[in-house]
């Protein structure tokens, strides 16, 4: 490999001028494992980086893309053999380290996860950080006592990439899922993924009381802001709320009453700095009991590197349902 293609952000303040560039082997960052990339996925963070609408990239020049799946070319540490199928999610990739929107990726060995045998690289990137985030949320909620028999789990932003996977994975794990989506045409799609009911945010009729009727056993929230605040007041005793997104805003206005009167737990889920043992356990379960019923069902489209700008804009404008795959190079 002498040269390769990558989407490149050239300098701070010039993100919107980024595009597909030809790089040389010497442009690769430091790392133990060289991976020939096959697929990546377009996440909310990636769209912010590509369009320059968010301060995601923290060094320049930078290749965005917080996910990648492909096969090992070489490993200086000897943990992996050439040809091994692997994936990388998060770990600062696409933020402070060149990421997955490139034909070749080089990363530290302890970022690399063996590809679960249940998946092809394409299917693994149908999940990507979105699926990893949902699995980690479910694992943390279960550790805090969440069980299917306790009642409904609400999933907000349900038609997005993370929300779609939350509906699928939680329903597959036996939970009765109430999917919340502002897209009126998303009902059939979400019911096929396993939602027992699909409603709009307004139809929840949450009100503004600091503590209201206990209606939900748990919440997986991808929205944040006002919707999360409203839902907290309706979670039953010792229910759990996983906060995994901010599409609706970063502010959270609430009271201590759900926490001290009902024992509600608000659980934060952060994947870039997740301890490796939790990372490995999440992907183990994604390849086992948390495997989606149909990984292909949540793929909305597949693009090449040259389609990143348009797809990123559409994602930020909430025009996308499910997951966008980025076909980086042939498997």
- Give the residue range(s) of CATH 3.90.180.10 domains in the chain: 3-115+294-327
Q: Walk along the chain (331 residues) and give the pLDDT tens digit of each residue.
A: 789 999 999 876 544 568 999 999 999 999 999 999 999 999 999 999 999 888 888 888 999 999 999 999 999 999 999 999 999 998 999 999 999 999 999 999 999 999 999 999 999 999 999 999 999 999 999 999 999 999 999 999 999 999 999 999 999 999 999 999 999 899 999 999 999 999 999 999 998 899 999 999 999 999 999 999 999 999 999 999 999 998 888 999 999 999 999 999 999 999 988 999 999 999 999 999 999 978 888 999 999 999 999 999 999 998 999 999 999 986 5
What is the reported pLDDT for 318?
A: 87
* pLDDT at residue 331 in the model: 56
Q: Specify the pLDDT at position 13.
A: 58
The owner of tokens 């990636």 is 46
Positions of CATH 3.40.50.720 in the chain: 129-268
Q: Looking at the domain covering 129-268, what would its CATH class be?
A: alpha beta
Q: Measured between alpha carbons, how far is 200 from 189 in angstroms, rounded to an integer?
A: 14
pLDDT recorded at residue 57: 83
Relative to beta strand 216-221, strand 153-155 is parallel
pLDDT at res. 15: 47
Q: Model-level pTM?
A: 0.92
Q: What is the pLDDT of residue 327?
A: 97
Q: Which CATH class, in words, describes the domain spanning 3-115+294-327?
A: alpha beta
Q: What is the model's pLDDT at position 265?
A: 98
Query: Are the C-beta atoms of residues 221 and 231 closer than 8 Å to each other?
Result: yes
């Amino acid at each position: 490999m002498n040269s390769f293609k990558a989407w490149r952000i050239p300098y701070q303040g010039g993100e919107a001028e980024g595009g597909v560039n030809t790089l040389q082997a010497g442009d690769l960052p430091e790392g133990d494992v060289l991976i020939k990339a096959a697929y990546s996925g377009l996440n909310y963070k990636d769209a912010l980086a590509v369009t320059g609408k968010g301060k995601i990239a923290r060094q320049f020049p930078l290749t965005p893309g917080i996910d990648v799946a492909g096969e090992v070319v070489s490993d200086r540490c000897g943990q992996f053999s050439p040809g091994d199928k692997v994936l990388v999610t998060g770990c600062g990739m696409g933020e402070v380290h060149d990421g997955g929107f490139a034909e070749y990726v080089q990363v530290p060995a302890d970022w690399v996860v063996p590809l679960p045998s249940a998946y092809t690289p394409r299917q693994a990137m149908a999940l990507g950080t979105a699926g990893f985030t949902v699995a980690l949320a479910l694992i943390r909620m279960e550790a805090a006592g969440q069980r299917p028999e306790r009642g409904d789990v609400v999933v907000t932003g349900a038609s997005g990439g993370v929300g779609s996977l939350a509906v699928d994975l939680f329903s597959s794990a036996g939970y009765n899922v109430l999917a919340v989506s502002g897209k009126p045409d998303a009902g059939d799609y979400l019911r096929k993924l396993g939602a027992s009911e699909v409603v709009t945010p307004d139809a929840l009729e949450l009100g503004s009381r600091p503590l209201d009727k206990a209606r939900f056993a748990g919440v997986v929230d991808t929205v944040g802001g006002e919707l999360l605040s409203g839902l907290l007041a309706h979670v039953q005793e010792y229910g759990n709320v996983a906060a995994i997104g901010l599409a609706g805003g970063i502010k959270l206005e609430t009271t201590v009453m759900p926490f001290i009167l009902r024992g509600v737990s608000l659980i934060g889920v952060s994947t870039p700095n997740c301890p490796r043992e939790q990372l490995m356990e999440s992907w183990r379960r994604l390849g086992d009991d948390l495997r989606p019923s149909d990984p292909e069902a949540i793929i909305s489209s597949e693009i090449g590197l040259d389609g990143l700008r348009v797809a990123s804009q559409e994602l930020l404008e909430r025009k996308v349902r499910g997951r966008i795959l980025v076909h980086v190079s042939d498997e």
